[in-house]
Amino acid sequence: MSRSFHVAAIQIDTEFSSCAFSTKHDFSKDPKKILVISWTNRKLVSSTTSTCILFDSGGTFHSFGYEAEKHYSELVLNDQHINWYFFKRFPLKLYKSKRLTRETILEDVNGKKMEAMKVFSSVIGYLKDNMLKEYSRHFIKIYDCDITWVLTAPVILYDTVKQFMRGAAEKVGICGNRLLIVPEPEAASVYCMYQPVQHVYKSRLFDPGAKYMIIIAEDRTVEMTVYEVQHDVILKELYKADKCHWGGTIVDESFLSLLTDIVGKDVMDAFRSNYSDSFIDLLRDFGQKKHSIRPDEIGKITIQLPCHLLFAFNEINPEGEIKANIESKPKYKNKITLLKDKLRMEAHIAISLFEESCSKIIYHIQELFRYPNLKDVSSILLVGEYAESNVLQANIRKAFYDKMLFVPDPAEYAVLKGAVLYGQRQQKDWI
């Protein structure tokens, strides 16, 4: 690996994608100084963009991320989308392929087919170009030879995915000697190594011979990997698990089930189909709220309901009231109230929304710790967007009180920023 003045990382996940970079100078002064690229979605600024890609009817790349979502929605409204290619959440389908090759085919949301290599290379090319534009805002001039690119990959089928991603990157001009591909849990581990924790705690966590489980808990998936630390902090993989669908979306689904029980299935169906933007806003707002809910919370939790949900209810129930629906159900009476557009529920009801997700995660961890070579795992590293949840952290801490639980701050950037740090660490003469 040749020396570079900059390291740029690209993370392409099932739901969202993101980019970040740091310079040789910043890494030598403060390794944690890493710039994450921001995206705009309906005037809201985010550190990630949706993993969606749109090609026109001729198969030419059109757009990626929130821009692709917006343009495709407009095509659907105008009934002009049939001949276009719109791929959403395609990495999951790609990584699940038992025989991933350059000839692998992906189907878009309408069943139209395209080479997976073309889809993936177009994504990498777009993110690369977007990153270079961002560089131009911070530096006078940048050359490809000045950048080491790091792509993250799932630990499952890593060797196969690695070769595929390398081929996709080379198609858009990222040369092999400027490209690193790192397993997601290993990247997150490197990120944790650079976090400010107590000296004794940190030495125990990454001492030679120490074993730890790293859990990447995202909103849709949860992935568990176990490492044993070797000399020079080299990691030996002891166990790798499939991505399981026990993440924060299960909590979202429990919340939507609660709302559906209150307003009725017909109302919720109408709200989702007729006011899709408001429905997405509701989930986003609840997603922020669910991370802040504490397991010892008392009193009531307040969630603002979109006005379009109230419109949908009034359209279907012109003579009814949501308040009356709530009061008619004994399990909600005096526990859930509606004040204008504010839904207020007792804290224990909000906390109960996490039960299914947390119980499945904990049960699986318990099963893994029964493996003979994993019984002496001493620590758990919890990273990812869903790792920010106070309730999830508390449940894991309670269930595994005999193990150290480490949650970096912020946990949601662990894989992306860890990939940048991984790239910097390869420049051994900088350290």
Per DSSP, the residues of 166-227 read HHHHHHTT--GGGEEEEEHHHHHHHHHHTS---HHHHHHHHSTT-EEEEEEE-SS-EEEEEE
Q: What is the pLDDT of residues 384-421, one digit of tens each?
A: 999 999 999 999 999 999 999 999 988 999 999 999 99
Q: Which residue has the higher pLDDT, 32 or 61?
A: 61
pLDDT band at 67 (very low <50, low <70, confident <90, very high): very high
Does one domain contain both 203 and 180?
no
| 139 pLDDT above the threshold of 70 | no
Does one domain contain both 206 and 69?
no
pLDDT band at 430 (very low <50, low <70, confident <90, very high): very low
Does one domain contain both 165 and 200?
no
pLDDT band at 349 (very low <50, low <70, confident <90, very high): very high
Q: How far apart are CA 24 and CA 4, in angstroms?
A: 8
Q: Residue 290 carries which side chain, given as an amino acid letter? A: K
**Residue 177: how many CB atoms within 10 A of its CB?**
10
Determine, yes or no, domain membership for 190.
Answer: no
Does one domain contain both 272 and 329?
yes
Please tell me the total count of domains within the chain. Answer: 2
For position 202, what pLDDT does the model report? Answer: 52
Cis preceding-peptide flag for 410 (omega within 30 of 0): yes
Does one domain contain both 163 and 201?
no
Determine, yes or no, domain membership for 1.
Answer: no
Give me the domain span that covers residue 200. Answer: 196-407
Does one domain contain both 235 and 111?
no
Q: How far apart are CA 390 and CA 53, in angstroms?
A: 33
pLDDT band at 200 (very low <50, low <70, confident <90, very high): very low
Indicate the pTM of the whole model.
0.90
DSSP 305: P
Does one domain contain both 247 and 129?
no
Does residue 73 come out as left (phi exceeding 0), alpha (psi in the -120 to 50 range) or beta? alpha
Determine, yes or no, domain membership for 99.
Answer: yes
Query: How far is C-alpha 65 from the chain's CA centre?
Result: 14
| 42 pLDDT above the threshold of 80 | no
Q: Looking at residue 248, which CATH number applies to its domain?
A: 3.30.420.40
Any idea which of 247-256, 318-327, 360-369 has the lowest mean pLDDT? Answer: 318-327
Determine, yes or no, domain membership for 245.
Answer: yes
